[in-house]
Structure 1
Amino acid sequence: MDYKVLSTLLKTISDSNRLEIIDLLSCGELCACDLLEHFQFSQPTLSHHMKSLVNSNLIFTRKEGNKRMYRLNTELFNELNNQLQSIYHNSESCICNSMEPGVCKA
C-alpha cells in the first residue's frame, strides 16, 4: 500500500461518523436502517457516508430484498493496520534504510 492510498483511507475514516459506522460494522453485517438508528442524522446523510466508505473499499455492500446490507472489508483493514504498524515500528522495510547514512535518526 503506497502513501497516497494510505492517506486516502485515513481521510475517509477521519470523519467521526464514519469511524462510528465502522465500529458498528465490526460487530457484523448490518442494514442501513439498523445503522441509522444509532445516529441523529437523515437517511441521505447516512447514504453519503456509506458511499464514501464503499468507494474507498472499506466496506462491502449488497442488496437483500429491499434492504442494503453492509459489512467491513476485513482484508483491507488488516492491510491498513499492517501498514500503520510498519510505519510505527522500525524494521528492515523502514524508509530510513533507503536514505543516506546520518539523514534519519530513527
Structure 2
Amino acid sequence: MSITPLDLQTMFVRLNEVSKEQSQNLHASALQQNLEAKKLVEQELKQDSSVNKTFEDKEPGKVDDKEEKKKQNEKKQSGSKESKEDSKKEVVKDPEMGIHIDISG
C-alpha cells in the first residue's frame, strides 16, 4: 500500500496533534505523581493546623488501680533488695583526697 500525496498532506496536518498526544502520554505519570504529592502536602498542613479531639476511656478507673498495685509491689520488692545491698556495700574513702592540688596539668 503506497502513500499518495493527498494522504501525506493530511498526515502532516495531523502531525502536530499526534505529537501533543504522545507528549501528554509520556508525561502523564509524572503529572499524576505531582498532583498526588500536592494533595498529601495539603492534607499534612491541614492536620498540623487543626486541633485533634481526644477520646476518653470508657473505664478509666481500672487502669489506674492496676498501675497503683504494680507501683506498690515494686516498692516492696525494691525496699527489700536495697536493705540487703546496703548491708553488703562497703564505702572506701581516701584520707588524702582533696588535700593535694595538681597544677602541672
Q: TM-score, normalised by structure 2?
A: 0.21
More helix by share: 2
Rg (Cα) greater in structure: 2
More strand by share: 1
Q: TM-score, normalised by structure 1?
A: 0.21
Specify which structure has the bigger relative contact order, considering alpha-carbon pairs within 8 angstroms and separated by 6 or more residues.
1
